[in-house]
Amino acid sequence: MIGGGQGAFIGAVHRIAARIDNEYDLVCGAFSSDAEKSKASGLALGLHESRVYSSYQELIEKESQLPQQERVQVISIVTPNHVHFEPTKLALQNGFHVVLDKPMTFSLAEAKELQTIQQASGKRFCLTHTYTGYPMVKEARQIVQSGKLGKIRKVYVEYPQGWLSTFLEGSDNKQASWRTDPTKSGAAGAMGDIGTHAFNLAEYVSALQVTQLCADINIVVEGRQLDDDGAVLLKFNNGASGVLIATQVAAGEENNVKVRVYGEHGGLEWQQSDANTLQVKWLDKPMEIWRTGGGYTSSYATHNTRTPAGHPEGYLEAFANLYRNFALAVKADIAGEQPKAECLDYPGMEEGVRGMAFIENVIASGRSEQKWTTFNI
């Protein structure tokens, strides 16, 4: 692991997710840019001091020198956005598979360069867009792809948060400070942090791609440097239209990301607050409630379900599904086998590049008087 040391939030989530299915062991790390903090973090996690490094450069250099059977195989990178590109580049170039927290890079240019590097490396890459890991989100995509809803016409996705309703970055809050700092977060605030999740979810469930957008981007809290609120009109490659909302100033809201997709014959709805439920709606018959663990779900939902119906599987399990599928794909490669299609169903480089394109196109549209912007990559 690179990043995720003491005081970090997402690093612990990654470690829990990686361990749920016993597909990974934490064997080394560079947990902070502060060498002493990295050492303290690694020792607290039970690592031998010889495998705790003072920088990501040292980690990659020294692990590369170890015998194949001893060195790390997958490197998980959980740093702030501005420290995504270089460690990922070095890891791939030195023969390591990579799991990276989203958004993929600091800029679209970096993302496209990283895509070229990954393709040349032959190594696998996973981007942790968590919400596509839920069983019923995977089921939603399978329903859409089956054609049961007919041609998709409308897509609505929203991600409301309220935690940045005040100038929290002014109170030395670490999570708020880097996310609202353009030198660390990049061109976007809310649209980069949670808007990319909503965008990824909309494209994943609808099985479509955005071709045009029109954005209204706002800075609501006085003194903030990056957007904390916004809405985006979307047009998709089949002619469908949609709306994306991402805000961090909806006071009282937590993380109830929600997606709705409507076709000619029906629609579906999923939200994180009731993650085990998928509502399937029909033009000419009553709404159906589909549940995680039901015997009627697809192989994709079943593959990503661990417990019998009625036992909630949540955020950590969805996160773990990405790690597990990635591990199974890597193990199949090692065995010289073709990974099962269900194991290849994790976000990768293409989703990362499109996410960065979303950020840059949204910000450009938000600043433009013309508004409607062709979705350029």
Q: Which residues contact 214 (CB under 8 A, 6 or more apart)?
A: 232, 233, 365, 371, 372, 373
Q: What pLDDT is recorded for position 46?
A: 96
- Proportion of the chain above pLDDT 90, given as a percent: 95
* Average of per-residue pLDDT across 96-108: 96
Give the residue among 24, 137, 135, 126 at the shortest CA–CA distance from 78.
126
Q: Tell which CATH classification among 2.60.40.420, 1.20.1440.230, 3.30.360.10, 3.30.420.10 matches the domain 133-367.
A: 3.30.360.10
pLDDT for res 374:
85
Residues 6+ apart with CB under 8 A from 267: 149, 154, 260, 261, 280, 281
Question: Average pLDDT of the chain?
Answer: 96
Domain with CATH 3.40.50.720 in the chain: 10-123
CATH 3.30.360.10 residue ranges of the chain are 133-367
pLDDT band at 370 (very low <50, low <70, confident <90, very high): confident
pLDDT at 56: 97
pLDDT in tens, 236-274: 999 999 999 999 999 999 999 999 999 999 999 999 999
pLDDT at 136 over 80: yes
**Which pLDDT does position 339 carry in this prediction?**
96
Residue 275's pLDDT is 97
pLDDT at position 365 is 94
- Within the chain, where are the H helices? 10-19, 35-44, 56-65, 85-93, 108-121, 135-146, 174-179, 182-185, 190, 196-206, 299-303, 315-334, 349-367
Work out the burial of residue 178: count CB atoms within 10 Å of its CB; fewer than 13 is exposed, 13-18 middle, 19 or more buried. Answer: middle
pLDDT for residue 371 is more than 80: no
Assign domain 10-123 to its CATH superfamily: NAD(P)-binding Rossmann-like Domain (3.40.50.720)
Is the separation of the CB atoms in 320 and 95 below 8 Å?
no
Q: What is the pLDDT of residues 294-328, one digit of tens each?
A: 999 999 999 999 999 999 899 999 999 999 999 99
Which pTM value belongs to this model? 0.94
* 114 touches 349 (CB < 8 A): yes
Rounded mean pLDDT, 96-123: 97
Percent of the chain with pLDDT over 70: 100
Q: Residue 244's pLDDT is what?
A: 98
The pLDDT score that the predictor gives to residue 274 is 97
Instruction: Yes or no: say if 217 and 231 are a contact pair by the CB < 8 Å rule.
Output: no
pLDDT score recorded for residue 204: 98
CA separation for the pair 256, 297 (Å, rounded): 23
Among 9-13, 144-148, 276-280, where is mean pLDDT lowest? 9-13
For the chain, the distance separating the N- and C-terminal CA atoms, rounded to the nearest angstrom, is 30
Nearest Cα to Cα of residue 274 among 237, 246, 313, 327 = 313
> Tens digit of pLDDT for each residue in 164-198?
999 999 998 989 999 999 999 999 999 999 999 99
Average pLDDT of the segment spanning 205-230: 97
